[in-house]
């Protein structure tokens, strides 16, 4: 197949470019200063085009390539490909569905959490040394919020599954109501926005969905609502979004895509209620390689006269230390992300459906993400020691939402500095509010100021429970949440 001409529309994944170059006669479109001259010289040689979210195959390019047989998109989106023209010419089109579904859905939930819980802002708060001057402000709870999804395709369904694990009621809008779907359907985007607190854009970009998020939809979502866009930038009327955020007509936004990428409205940079990402929905090493393999596999299948391909992937393996109420809630959420779950606790729990590891070393050796969520006791102090960290290894991630003293902090710091551990997410520390200074400069660490329960809603619920326990005691009624009984 080395003689088959393949046109790469723009720079993209280096691995994909390398593998295409090995297998085909690869032309890099961006290297030619005169596109018309190139097409005139090579129009008879090119039988395939590889594009992505930035450049694909428009009608003009398709007309200029009479020998074109297939367009392979290094993306799930097809908005850069003239599909009617391809149908007219009998040109086959492939994309990378399923491969990136999990990553984009993961990122949607990440954007929600980052936006509502102010995770990025909180990280900056710790790094600037502001925690010593006072606690970070209370944020907004995600669990239980009503979530509306525009577009219930593969990615939309994956987002719904994840949000459902956070006890979020789900509703959706799409071109038509889905049969056998348990989620509430709204026949218009305005109705959906009026009946949800978080609105997620996950539909393809078409003429009908261009600026589907307009002033009317934003106003329906309202000053307590949040917009999450992991679709395409032109889904949103960007000037209207900016003005709504500045004027307080919208509560916040998490944006991975923009109308004129890589340009982002400068007004957004100053807003604390907005999280901005550089279109990284599928940008993990694993998924980009899988996408590249699928592009190559589809091209090879086409030219070898074999069926085109469709692969399936699962999530990272998660180990949980302590499967109590919080550990079980984490497991449920991780399970919704397609992650295999295992756990360690003092004894095996009946009927969990998760694998039990009798020692924490076993657990760390058999997971990629280790989450500490157990109670702090004499037995669990420094339960995360050098042996456990080394068992987790340079590709492993440690998450601590338990207590700071669960972790041997000097060992953790040295492991991160030496590359013996892949990364860490830390909400708690050994000597709060003091945080090891070495961590402040590391890019593979996320630092939070012990804000696990710090949402307005949860703090009020906790306060109400304290008051109710006191009243129950003095009124000689059963305590609502007793820890120790009568002595």
Annotation says 267 is catalytic: no
Catalytic one among 42, 279, 405, 420?
279
Dig out the tokens for 210 from the structure. 């261009």
Integer Cα distance of 174 and 46 in angstroms: 37
Tokens of 353: 């459906």
* Burial 379-395, CB ≥16 within 10 A → b, else e: ebeebbeeebbbbbeee
Residue 246: HSE in the Cβ half-sphere, 13 Å Cα cutoff: 12
Residue 205 contacts residue 259 (beta carbons within 8 Å): no
403 in active site:
no
Residue whose C-alpha is closest to residue 230's, from 172, 301, 159: 159
Instruction: For residue 20, give the 3-state DSSP assignment.
Output: helix
> Of the residues 47, 117, 118, 232, which is catalytic?
232
- Cβ atoms within 10 A of the Cβ of 130, count? 15
Contact residues for 207 (Cβ-Cβ < 8 A; gap 6+) = none
Distance CA 351, CA 323 (A): 12
Across 465-485, b (16+ Cβ under 10 Å) vs e yields eeeeeeeeeeeeeeeeeeeee
Catalytic residue among 37, 60, 88, 261: 261
Catalytic, 207? Answer: no
Task: Please identify every residue annotated as catalytic.
Answer: 232, 261, 279
């Amino acid at each position: 197949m080395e003689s088959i001409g393949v046109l790469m529309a723009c720079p993209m994944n280096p691995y994909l470019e390398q593998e295409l170059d090995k297998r085909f006669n690869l032309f890099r479109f961006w290297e030619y200063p005169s596109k018309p001259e190139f097409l005139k010289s090579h129009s008879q040689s090119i039988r395939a085009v590889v594009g992505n979210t930035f450049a694909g195959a428009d009608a003009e390019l398709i007309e200029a390539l009479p020998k074109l047989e297939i367009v392979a998109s290094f993306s799930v989106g097809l908005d850069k490909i003239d599909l009617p023209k391809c149908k007219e010419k009998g040109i086959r089109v492939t994309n990378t569905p399923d491969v990136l579904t999990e990553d984009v859905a993961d990122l949607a939930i990440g954007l929600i959490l980052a936006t509502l819980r102010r995770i990025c802002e909180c990280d900056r708060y710790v790094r600037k040394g502001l925690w010593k001057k006072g606690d970070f402000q209370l944020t907004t709870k995600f669990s239980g919020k009503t979530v509306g999804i525009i577009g219930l395709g593969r990615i939309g369904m994956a987002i719904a599954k994840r949000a459902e694990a956070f006890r979020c009621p789900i509703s959706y809008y799409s071109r038509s109501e889905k049969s056998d779907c348990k989620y509430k359907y709204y026949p218009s985007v305005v109705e959906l926005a009026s009946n949800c607190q978080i609105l997620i854009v996950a539909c393809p970009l078409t003429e009908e969905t261009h600026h589907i998020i307009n002033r009317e939809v934003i106003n329906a979502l309202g000053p307590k609502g949040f917009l999450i866009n992991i679709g395409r930038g032109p889904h949103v009327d960007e000037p209207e979004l900016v003005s709504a955020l500045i004027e307080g007509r919208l509560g916040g936004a998490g944006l991975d895509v923009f109308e004129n990428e890589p340009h982002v409205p400068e007004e957004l940079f100053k807003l604390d209620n907005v999280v901005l990402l550089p279109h990284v929905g599928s940008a993990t090493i694993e998924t980009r390689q899988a996408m590249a393999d699928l592009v190559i596999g589809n091209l090879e299948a086409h030219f070898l006269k074999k069926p085109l391909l469709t692969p399936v992937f699962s999530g990272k393996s998660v180990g949980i230390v302590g499967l109590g109420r919080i550990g079980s809630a984490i497991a449920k959420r991780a399970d919704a992300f397609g992650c295999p779950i295992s756990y360690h606790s003092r004894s095996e729990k009946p009927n969990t459906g998760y694998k039990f590891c009798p020692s924490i070393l076993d657990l760390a050796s058999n997971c990629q993400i280790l989450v500490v969520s157990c109670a702090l006791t004499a037995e669990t102090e420094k339960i995360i020691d050098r042996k456990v960290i080394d068992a987790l290894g340079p590709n492993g991630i440690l998450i601590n939402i338990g207590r700071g003293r669960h972790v041997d902090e000097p060992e953790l710091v040295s492991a991160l500095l030496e590359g013996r551990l892949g990364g860490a997410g830390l909400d708690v520390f050994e000597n709060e509010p003091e945080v090891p200074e070495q961590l402040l400069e590391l890019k593979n660490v996320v630092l939070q100021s012990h804000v696990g329960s710090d949402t307005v809603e949860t703090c009020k619920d906790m306060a109400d429970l304290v008051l109710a326990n006191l009243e129950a005691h003095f009124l000689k009624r059963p305590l609502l949440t007793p820890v120790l009984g009568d002595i």
